Each structure stands twice: as C-alpha cells, then as structure tokens.
Amino acid sequence: MSSQLKVNSIRDTSNNEAITISSGNVSFNNTISAGTLGSSVVFPSGYQVYIKSQNRSGGTGAIYRPTAYYPTTTSDLATKSFYLSITASEHSSFSKILINFNANFRVDENTHAIADYRLVRWAGTGNVSSETALVHGTIGSVTTDVEVFDCVSGSIIDDISSVGDVQINYTLQYQNHNSNSIYANNIYFGQTNDIQQISAFGII
C-alpha cells in the first residue's frame, strides 16, 4: 500500500526552516554545502558556465610582413598567439559559446603601420582550416610612426548549434592590412611584460 508524506517545510534540529515547498516548487533556504548535480539537471536558458581559459605572458617575437592571416599551424599557435581547444564533450551541453579576449600588438612601420586582426573558429584537431571569422578589426596608424602599440579586446557569442560532435578551436590571427606588405614591417603579438587572455563560457 502506497503512502504520501505531505509537508510545506522541513526544519533542522535547531528549528531553522531549511526547505520550503509550495505548489510543487522546492526552495533551499540555506547553503547546500555538499553534493553533485546529476546529468539530468536542466539549467535555465541563457545560463553561462565557465569552460576554460588560456593566459599568454610576455612577447612572442616579430612576424615579418605577414600578407596572409597568421598563425595557422598548431606549432605557431602555441607560441605566436593564444588559442583554446574545446572538446566535443566540453561543448555538447551548450548551444552557444561566449568568447572573451584581450591582446596587445606592436606594429612597426613600413610605408604605414597598419594591421588587421580576426578571431576565428575552426573544427578538428589540426591546423587552422575552413575557419569561420567571428570578429574582424584593424589597428595601427597611417602616419609615420615608427612603432604603434594597440590593445585589442572584446567578446563574441558564437552559435555552435550546428557544429556537431567535434572539437572546436578559437584563436586570434593577424596580418598586414589588406594583405599588402606596404602597410607594416614587423607585427608583434604581445610585449615583454604583457599578460593576455582568451576565455570561453558555455551558454545553455
């Protein structure tokens, strides 16, 4: 024979009301100090969950007149920019990813001192390929400044609902403005005392 326990609150031994129940809704009135949420727990739409971040300290050295977006190889990504790799299991619960980034550049003059940058996403475990540009901008100066220093920072919400069960990656690339060598001589990602970061949050 089944039985039912009907209550509208539960109190602890000190008579503090710990749990209240009303119209099927349960409220915990104090801190939940231990326990693990099960995989079936559903968070409200729009809820953000931290996934990971990467810091890059110091400078990475000069890149001489890059006329195509750089870096592209996994070895250069590890030393000439910052990047994040998010596995399929890490992003499977989310429909969108919030990317935050902050980076510093030095652009040396050729005829000008202008560079383009972009934040890109690509899939898989190898080099940058079939990438999607999420942010694009231009930094520098058209004057005769020998060196131009610029800070690039921003946030972007990336819709990943159609990427599938694959690893996704994000990095910040840069090149001479409009792929023309006259617009910059050397481009540097970061300087000696810089601290730069890229971070990712999943959005339900």
Average pLDDT over residues 36-56: 85
What is the amino acid identity at position 25? N
- Residue 189 sits at the vertex; the CA angle it makes with 186 and 191, to the nearest 5 degrees, is 95
Residue-range domains of the chain with CATH: 48-203 (2.60.120.760)
pLDDT, tens digit (0-9, with 9 covering 90-100), for 14-30: 788 878 888 778 888 77
Question: Are the beta carbons of 111 and 180 closer than 8 angstroms?
Answer: no
**Higher-pLDDT residue of 126, 24:** 126
41 pLDDT above the threshold of 90: no
Burial class (CB in 10 A: 0-12, 13-18, 19+), 133: exposed
The pLDDT of residue 43 is: 75
- Count of CA atoms in the C-beta half-sphere (13 A) of 140: 31
Collapsed DSSP state (helix, strand, coil) of residue 162: coil
What is the amino acid identity at position 119? L
pLDDT-derived band at 1, boundaries 50, 70, 90: low
Q: Tell me the sheet residues that pair with 23.
A: none
pLDDT, tens digit (0-9, with 9 covering 90-100), for 80-98: 999 999 999 999 999 999 9
114 pLDDT above the threshold of 90: yes
3 pLDDT above the threshold of 90: no
pTM of the model: 0.82
Q: Tell me the sheet residues that pair with 203.
A: 48, 96
pLDDT, tens digit (0-9, with 9 covering 90-100), for 50-77: 999 999 998 888 999 999 999 999 999 9
Dihedral pair phi/psi, residue 88, rounded to 5°: -60, -40
Tell the residue number behind the tokens 């005392």, with chain if given. 193
Question: Are the beta carbons of 188 and 140 closer than 8 angstroms?
Answer: no
What is the amino acid identity at position 10? I
How many C-beta neighbours within 10 Å does residue 182 have?
Answer: 13
Q: In whole angstroms, how far apart are CA 71 and each of 16, 22, 118, 187, 195? A: 59, 57, 11, 12, 19
pLDDT, tens digit (0-9, with 9 covering 90-100), for 142-181: 877 789 999 999 999 999 999 999 999 999 999 999 999 9
Residue % of the chain over a pLDDT of 90 = 68
